[in-house]
């Protein structure tokens, strides 16, 4: 590879995306790896980072990334399909590569090598690269706050001179990183919280946060080797919907976070159930970008159904862009530490992390559809 490595920090083209892939604090550490850093003008503004902060950290501010860039970092590099891509470069980004065939065409036509940040393997050595977890934790926290501000009630038990007001009841569906953070946040705010997951192993984590754990009868192999929930059979899905309905109707707010990597989110809340919920109830469907856990969810909108508000947030992590950018930047730096050696890019496909994350190599696809 080239003796000099140039990293370009892309300004996000999605108008709803406030995060930036590299924060000023990490620029110096990246330079210490032997990498020169370019940042597109205004790349960090929506996240709360000025061009001056990047310049003071050693980065060069440019209107557009120069053609000598070896590595491009981004949150979503493929939002605008007509963007100019630097041929033969490496791209580090979150993607929807399994479901978006246009990404394959872009990588092939520009001979790109793509590191997909959602393909970080679930091994101990890769934890500091785990962008899905870092962003999901922020989304779960934000969802808890959204539930609190959307309800027309207190979350905690309130004892007043006029009498005692009982705590709100929160039901969290799915106990992955986002779900556990939503449980922890609403519990800290004083709500009565119940957590549901088909993985029985999640029960201990839910209960450790002070919440009640519920789960229906599920197959013993309900999770993958990596710890993710498996897609359920139609019979199991029907049983799941019936089991959850009573708990949903009793809840003041439901935060749904269930997702299956690479697939459409499972339906856990039918529209008929939404119509039976108590007036003033709230649903926060974190899984809206992957189809939603609620049949009524509309991505990017908050709708009213018989007095119940259904939120379909498009990007909760982006709403906390300052801190979300910090952890994502650390995730990318963790990858750079692996692929940069002696001021050059060194790709070792024998490395388990590199092998899992490098989904395109010189325009050639390395993963199955």
Residues designated catalytic: 122, 127, 130, 133, 228
* Cα–Cα distance list, 36 to 33, 73, 326 (Å): 9, 13, 20
23 touches 73 (CB < 8 A): no
What are the residues whose beta carbons fall under 8 Å from the beta carbon of 317, sequence distance 6 or more? 19, 135, 136, 138, 139, 142, 324
Q: Whose structure tokens read 């379909």?
A: 312
- The DSSP string of 235-265 is HHHHHHHHHHHHHHHH-SEEEE----TTSPP
What are the residues whose beta carbons fall under 8 Å from the beta carbon of 323, sequence distance 6 or more? 138
What are the residues whose beta carbons fall under 8 Å from the beta carbon of 92, sequence distance 6 or more? 21, 71, 72, 73, 74, 115, 117, 332, 335
**Nearest alpha-carbon partner for 94 in 220, 261, 213, 322:** 261
192 touches 172 (CB < 8 A): no
Distance between CA 145 and CA 58 in Å, rounded?
Answer: 37
**Nearest alpha-carbon partner for 361 in 343, 339, 332:** 339
List, edge to edge, every strand of the sheet that includes 169-173: 212-214, 192-196, 169-173, 253-256, 282-285, 308-311, 302-305
- 140: which 2 tokens? 């779960």
- The DSSP string of 19-76 is --SS-HHHHHHHHHTTEEEEEETTTTGGGT--HHHHHHTTPEEESS--TT-SEEE-S-
What are the residues whose beta carbons fall under 8 Å from the beta carbon of 277, sequence distance 6 or more? 248, 249, 251, 283, 306, 307, 308
């Amino acid at each position: 590879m080239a003796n000099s490595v140039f990293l370009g920090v892309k300004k996000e083209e999605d108008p709803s995306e406030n995060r930036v892939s590299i924060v000023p604090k990490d620029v110096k550490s990246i330079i210490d790896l032997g990498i020169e850093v370019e940042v597109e003008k205004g790349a960090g503004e929506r996240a709360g980072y000025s061009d001056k902060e990047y310049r003071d950290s050693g980065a060069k501010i440019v209107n557009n990334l120069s053609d000598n860039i070896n590595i491009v970092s981004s949150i979503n590099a493929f939002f605008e399909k007509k963007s100019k891509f630097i041929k033969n470069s490496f791209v580090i980004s979150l993607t929807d590569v399994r479901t978006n065939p246009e990404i394959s065409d872009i990588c092939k036509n520009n001979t790109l090598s793509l590191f997909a940040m959602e393909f970080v393997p679930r091994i101990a050595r890769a934890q500091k690269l785990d962008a899905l977890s870092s962003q999901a934790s922020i989304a779960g926290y934000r969802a808890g706050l959204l539930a609190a501000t959307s309800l027309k009630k207190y979350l905690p038990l309130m004892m007043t001179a006029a009498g005692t007001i009982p705590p709100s009841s929160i039901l969290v569906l799915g106990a992955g990183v986002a779900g556990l953070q939503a449980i922890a946040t609403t519990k800290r705010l004083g709500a009565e919280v119940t957590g549901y997951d088909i993985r029985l192993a999640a029960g201990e984590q839910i209960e450790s946060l002070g919440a009640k754990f519920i789960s229906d009868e599920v197959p013993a192999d309900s999770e993958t080797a990596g710890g993710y929930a498996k897609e359920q059979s139609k019979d199991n899905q029907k049983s799941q919907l019936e089991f959850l309905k009573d708990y949903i109707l009793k809840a003041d707010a439901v935060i749904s976070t269930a997702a299956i990597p690479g697939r459409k989110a499972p339906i856990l809340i039918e529209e008929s159930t939404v119509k039976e919920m108590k007036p003033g109830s709230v649903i926060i469907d974190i899984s809206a970008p992957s189809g939603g856990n609620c049949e009524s969810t509309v991505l990017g909108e908050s709708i009213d159904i018989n007095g119940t508000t259904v939120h379909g947030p498009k990007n909760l992590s982006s709403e906390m862009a300052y801190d979300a950018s910090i952890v994502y930047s650390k995730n990318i730096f963790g990858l750079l530490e692996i692929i940069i050696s002696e001021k050059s890019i060194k790709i070792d496909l024998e490395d388990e992390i590199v092998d899992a994350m490098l989904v395109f190599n010189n325009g050639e696809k390395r993963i199955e559809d």
